[in-house]
Amino acid sequence: MELLLENDVQTRQAGARLATCLQELQQGAVVYLQGDLGAGKTTFSQGLIASLGHSGPVKSPTYTLVEPYEISGRKVLHFDLYRLGDPEELEFLGVRDYFQSENICLIEWPIKGEGYLAKPDIVVELQAVPGGRQMTLAGVSAFGNKVLARYRQANV
């Protein structure tokens, strides 16, 4: 599914809409966020995390690699792997413990962690275009397809 997001507010709303679908299905998910520097991946994550019910700030985990949240009993892990030197370092961060099916894992720059990450349910691709950002959403697991079917119908 493709959408043109005309400003950062719309990018946040796109993330919030995904949060609503995940909440309705009451399951965790692995979401890969792809796109160049400045494409809007953190903005999308901020909308998603805020919509799940987190009221504080959502920082970009550029230096920490992962920022954990606990939101109404569900763990949300927001990764930014841009500065990861070697995917093997993920082992030392203990990421395997993070990839449990009840957790929501949002992963910016998943390509940097190739081989050490859980497979995605949903891939969000953001691209700067004249007039904003082009967003492409794909469901890449059975659960991801279920989420995407909801996303298409959601009116938020």
Ligand X SMILES: Nc1ncnc2c1ncn2[C@@H]1O[C@H](COP(=O)(O)OP(=O)(O)OP(=O)(O)O)[C@@H](O)[C@H]1O
Is 34 a binding residue for ligand X by CB under 6 A? The answer is: no
Is 41 a binding residue for Mg ion by CB under 5 A? The answer is: yes
User: Is the Cβ of residue 105 or residue 143 nearer to ligand X in the bound state?
Assistant: 105
Q: Which of 78, 13, 79, 4 minimizes the C-alpha distance to 51?
A: 13
Is 12 a binding residue for Mg ion by CB under 5 A? The answer is: no
* Residue count (the chain): 156
**Residues 66-95 as x/- pattern, contact with Mg ion by CB under 5 A:** ------------------------------
Is 50 a binding residue for ligand X by CB under 6 A? The answer is: no
The rounded distance, in Å, linking the Cα atoms of 101 and 43 is 24
Encoded amino acid at 17, one letter: R
Residue 109 CB, shortest distance to ligand X, in Å, is: 7
Question: Binding residue for ligand X (CB under 6 A) from 17, 41, 78, 112?
Answer: 41
